[in-house]
Amino acid sequence: MLFSKMFIPTVKEDPKEAEVVSHRLMLRAGFIRRLASGVYTWLPLGLRSLRKVEQIIREEMNRKGAQEILMPAVQPKELWVESTRWEKYGKELLRFTDRNNRELCLGPTHEEVVTDLVRREVKSYKDLPVTLYQIQTKFRDEIRPRFGIMRSREFSMKDAYSFDTDEAGAGKSYMDMYEAYNNIFDRCGFRFRVVEADTGQIGGSFSHEFMVLAETGEDIIISCDTCGYAANLERAEVGVAQKAVSGKKGAHRRVETPNQRKIDEVSAFLGISPDRLLKTIIYNTDKGSIGVLVRGDREINDTKLKNLLKLDELELADERTIEEKTGGPLGFSGPIGLSIPLYADMDLKFMEDFVVGGNERDVHVADVNVGDFSVTGFYDVKVAVPGDKCPRCDKGSLVATRGIEVGHIFKLGLKYSQSMNATFLDSGGKEHFMVMGCYGIGVGRTVAAAIEQGNDENGMILPLPIAPFEVDVLPVNTTHPESMEAARKIYNELLAKGVDALLDDRDERPGVKFKDCDLIGIPLRVTVGERNLKEGLVEIKRRESREFEKVPVSEAAGRIIKYVEDAKHR
């Protein structure tokens, strides 16, 4: 492509509305433009990257025998009622009514539609297993769309769904997708990590997330420094540390703590460290009020708590409930004498002579021990922090890194096939539910994640396999005939070998052209300048390492072709 003919509206100034680097650079480099809140147009450069990601996805999905289909964005209410998600999905599901008063929604995901398709068409075990996928536009009515493509309302997604006759088959389908996803993100050129994840609104029993590592990532990844354990923060388990406990077991005693409600207030007032305190947090749930006990220096992980107790709803109790259940005001709750179920974090087992709330205004109780109240049991309910013990191995401790979720795979089991009655007949003519899995990749998000992972003060540093162009051939002076001739020769040679090359034939100042090339993140640049050309040389620069080398004009294309091949088959 000729730069002069392409629609590349680059911008010098940083756009004010952009909060994250990928959003800022995608606007500046002319990858995207905003149409409405959380809704974007992809411009030629951005779309080239998006299509390259799609192509890698297609190849790896097809390699595993998954078959591409294309389902509608508009979905009927009835299917969502069958799966019970019409009620559960909440306001992120954009609903509307057509002229015949039929209720519809814009699909945020396609479990209902694909399950309906397969239950109608597949009758026998002979038709299974089958994995279907699509690359299609989704809509989620995010409460606060932001970060550009990273959290938009309308977005491009690859979603796949597997249907098997049994658990073993579903496990194999899941592993196929696990491998395909590893191949996809490898081929895109990412540094990434696979982590255990929560199943959230999609439901099901088991899942992994694929995280592109980036310091600016929204998600926190907890991993072991010794074994392969890795999970996202909301799911991360904590191993039990058998720490020696200090303090003596004696009778507990009442202490006055006027106006000291918060952990740091109480610990300062009593002159003890926060880990000598026990927090008692009262929650309202769909199964009634509960109390959760966690050491004063730790936080409760709501996701783990919900999963542990199989709760649909979990929220902090209001002040009235707290007074009703404990007899004392907010900030003075303690476990002694409570009649609601008490779920204790594992740490409590190793605490002695600690301080709890007195269930009475301005009162705490000191020198408390586990025998002074009764708990339902001891569980892992706290948020993991770096330095915690690994839940899987003996030696490791946990560390935290940041990442961006680009892929998510789920073992769904029978969740949708049961609620939507998707069955097949086995060889004996007996009816069974299909066992399902679902697998998503945010395609646009993958492009944004690449920019979050690779950038510097000059712009994007994109991995070659998904950069809009692989190489920019840049004649410094377009009015110098020999320069243009050499540039065209190299450019044509590259095109002939299938290299995705751009020729910057614009009559612009060299500084502008160099800046644009860096901003767009083109991995390789061939600079054709008058001075070098006198010696028969051109200069090749690598965007990522900023390394320069001078090579004879005749060898330039060959060198670039080798770099491109290396980058694609690393």
Interacting residues with Zn ion (CB under 5 A): 224, 226-227, 229, 390, 392-393, 396
- Residue 55 or 226: the one with the smaller Cβ distance to Zn ion is 226
d(CA 280, CA 258): 18
Q: Are residues 520 and 459 in contact, defined by beta-carbon separation less than 8 angstroms? A: yes
Nearer to Zn ion, 47 or 227 (CB): 227
- Please name the amino acid found at residue 173: S
Contact between 149 and 434 (Cβ < 8 Å): no
CB of 389 to Zn ion, least distance (A): 9
Q: 10 Å Cβ neighbour count for 395?
A: 10
- Nearer residue to Zn ion within complex by CB, 26 or 224: 224
Tell me how far CA of residue 86 lies from CA of 13, 161, 415, 422, in angstroms: 44, 20, 15, 19
Report the nearest approach of Zn ion to the CB of residue 222 (Å).
11
Give 58 or 392: the residue with its C-beta nearer to Zn ion: 392
**Cβ atoms within 10 Å of 362's Cβ, excluding its own:** 16
Q: Output phi, psi for 161, to 5 deg.
A: -140, 130
Q: Is 227 helix (H, G, I), strand (E, B) or coil?
A: coil
> 6 vs 238, which CB is nearer to Zn ion?
238
Q: How far is the CB of 208 from Zn ion (least distance, A)?
A: 17
Between residues 81 and 399, which has the closer beta carbon with respect to Zn ion?
A: 399
SS3 353: coil
> What size, in residues, is the chain?
570
Contact 257, 362 (CB under 8 A): yes
- Looking at the Cβ atoms of 382 and 525, the one nearer to Zn ion is 382
Residue with tokens 């509307």: 96
Residue 224 CB, nearest distance to Zn ion (Å)?
3
CB of 400 to Zn ion, least distance (A): 14
Q: Give CA–CA dist 298/290, Å, rounded.
A: 18
Find the shortest distance in angstroms from Cβ 193 to Zn ion. 14
Token pair for 490: 């190299």
CB of 392 vs Zn ion, minimal distance in Å: 5
Q: At closest approach, how far in Å is the CB of 236 from Zn ion?
A: 12
Closest CB to Zn ion among 150 and 236? 236
CA 398 – CA 374 distance, rounded (Å)? 31
Return the closest-CA partner of residue 162 out of 384, 439, 506.
Answer: 439
Tell me whether residue 142 is exposed, middle or buried, using C-beta atoms within 10 angstroms of its C-beta: 0 to 12, 13 to 18, 19 or more.
Answer: middle
Name the burial class of residue 2, with classes exposed (0-12), middle (13-18) and buried (19+) by CB atoms within 10 angstroms of its CB: exposed
Question: Least Å distance between CB 397 and Zn ion?
Answer: 8
For strands 524-528 and 471-475, give the pairing. Answer: parallel
- Do 300 and 383 meet the contact criterion of CB atoms below 8 Å apart? yes
- Identify which of residues 392 and 488 has a Cβ nearer to Zn ion in the complex: 392
Q: At its nearest, how many Å lie between Zn ion and the CB of residue 229?
A: 5
DSSP 389: B
Q: Cβ-count burial of 353 within 10 angstroms (0-12 exposed, 13-18 middle, 19+ buried)? A: middle
For the CB of residue 391, give the shortest distance to Zn ion in the complex, in Å. 8
Nearer to Zn ion, 226 or 285 (CB): 226
Considering the complex, state which of residue 65 and residue 228 has its C-beta at the smaller distance from Zn ion.
Answer: 228
The pair of three-digit structure tokens given for residue 118, joined into one six-digit string:
């397969």
